[in-house]
Structure 1
Amino acid sequence: MPNFSTLTLCITATSFSISQLLFHVGSTWLSKRLTCGFSKLNSKQKIEWNSRTVSTFHALVVGCFCLYILLYDDAVNADPVWGDPYMVKLNVAITSGYLISDLLLILYYWKAIGDKYFVTHHVAALYAYYYVLGEGMLPYFGNFRLLAEFSTPFVNQRWFFEVLGYHKHSVPNMVNGVLMTVVFFIVRIAVIPTYYGRVFSTFDLLHCRQ
């Protein structure tokens, strides 16, 4: 039977609430003060803008937390299957709250931001995180995949520049493009050998224990 701690459930609920608050209130309030272009967007664009703002905030929080765990959580790094998942559960709980919030927003504003692939992604991720939160299984791998979130802010920023009318050859757009390419390569491609090296070493470890 899964064992969801009160703390992780509270963090998931808090993450969900903050995500909703940022979408409905925080993003609009901040965006109006950062750029006059926000007020010129149509309603559909504003919905996607707010969604991407929340996405960027979530990515920065869980990405930094993920990196800290990978560098300093010795228990998880020593045993990627059953290592003490306490820190990882906190990070995954934050992500789960965000995913549930974003999934509901996608369904509610389907005409503006509906995407069946995002729905599939969110549901699959929540299914995987169910085992991390409820069983404490594979904490290293559950956390490692969150490194990919570091590329999300740059992807979102590219959309922000596009909808604000920045030319694709403008300096801000080009700088963001270079950073997006570099970060995307590092956190999604360059880490593949490390990730799957741990996967295969885990298979050997399980075989030896049997």
Structure 2
Amino acid sequence: MSSNYVEDDGGGLLGDYLSSETLIPCAGAIVGILACKMVYDLSQMISEAQFKSYFGLSSMQKVEWNNRAISTFHALFITIWSVYFVFWSDLYDVNVLTTAVTFRSSPASTFGLAVSSGYFLTDLAMILWFYPSLGGMEYVVHHLLSMSAVTYAMLTREGQLYTFMVLISETTTPSMNLRWYLDSAGLKKSRVYLVNGFVMFLAWLVARIILFIYVFYHIYLHYNEIMQMQKVGICLVLVAPCVIYVLNLIWFGKISRGLKKTLTTKKRRD
């Protein structure tokens, strides 16, 4: 069954400018790549002007510092985009449209996924180029799965709802990056570091543990509609969230142990 092109209230304005189905993915991906370059350069410029601790970092640490600025920017962008389409837009509301939720899309939803694909491509290239300094094999697997799912949903307009659901988990990225920044700046014993630890723990619990349970429940409810997709799409919807969820559980365990260690150390110090 071929995918159906559906336009919602969020796609009208953008659709006037990007009406071509070929132009939207290309334009979005280019915007994503250029945005990564811009944020990297701005991070370097601002950090050199405002943060004395930046000059104490090694060359590789400076690369990671600026790379984390990119992931923070993408996380804020795609979280807002995803939350809007999953919870506020009528695009995937089963009470509004009769088309199967697995085949609904709009110019705006496709453009957002294209921007995200540009980010994942850029970040994966940096991870592989500097491997393993920016992340080990688990990061490579995570980015390959994410990029595959995002690119597939972008090009075929299939399964975009589930892609956005999973992308909401990017909301945990800013707190993770802040933790690294504080550690690099020598503020690991500060109150801000401790508060951020709690925020990171709660963000992971909600966005990467509880949310995924909801995703699996939604997949169960709409299993028949998912089975109407192409085989590649079915595989991505059924397998990708499971693999990412296992990685989330592993990382959540590390975060929990880290928070426990921080609290124990603080208690002894007090």
Once the two structures are overlaid, the 10-residue window that deviates more, 77-86 or 120-129, is: 77-86
Equivalent position of 2:12 in the other structure? none
Equivalent position of 2:141 in the other structure? 120
2:108 is equivalent to residue 87 of structure 1? yes
Equivalent position of 2:30 in the other structure? 13
- Relative contact order higher in (CA < 8 Å, ≥ 6 apart): 1
SS at match of 2:91: helix
Once the two structures are overlaid, the 10-residue window that deviates more, 66-75 or 156-165, is: 66-75
Q: How much has 1:91 moved relative to structure 2?
A: 1.9
Alignment match of 1:152 (pick from 173, 178, 183): 173
Equivalent position of 1:110 in the other structure? 131
Distance 2:218 2:185 in 1: 43
Equivalent position of 1:30 in the other structure? 46
Contact 1:62 1:149 in 2 (8 A): yes
Normalising by structure 1, report the TM-score: 0.88
Equivalent position of 1:50 in the other structure? 66
The share of aligned pairs that are identical, in percent, is: 23
Letter in 1 for 2:90: D
Alignment match of 2:76 (pick from 47, 60, 70): 60
Normalising by structure 2, report the TM-score: 0.70
Contact 2:102 2:225 in 1 (8 A): no
Structure 1 residues not aligned, in runs of 5+: none
Task: Give deviations 1:60-88, integer Å, cap 9, x for gaps.
Answer: 11111111112222122324311234332
Alignment match of 1:171 (pick from 181, 188, 191): 191
Q: How much has 1:153 moved relative to structure 2?
A: 0.5
Higher Rg: 2
Once the two structures are overlaid, the 10-residue window that deviates more, 104-113 or 156-165, is: 104-113
SS at match of 1:191: helix
Q: Kindly tell me: are residues 207 and 123 of structure 1, through their superposed partners in 2, closer, same or farther at Cα, counting changes over 3 Å?
A: closer
2:214 is equivalent to residue 198 of structure 1? no
Letter in 2 for 1:13: I
Q: How much has 1:119 moved relative to structure 2?
A: 2.0
Structure 2 residues not aligned, in runs of 5+: 4-19, 95-99, 229-270
Distance 2:226 2:117 in 1: 28
Task: Give deviations 1:173-210, integer Å, cap 9, x for gaps.
Answer: 011111111111111122233211210011145689xx
Contact 1:77 1:83 in 2 (8 A): no
RMSD: 2.3
SS at match of 1:84: coil
Q: Kindly tell me: are residues 167 and 206 of structure 1, through their superposed partners in 2, closer, same or farther at Cα, counting changes over 3 Å?
A: closer
Equivalent position of 2:238 in the other structure? none
Count of residues in correspondence between the two structures: 206
Contact 1:47 1:112 in 2 (8 A): no
Distance 2:50 2:171 in 1: 22
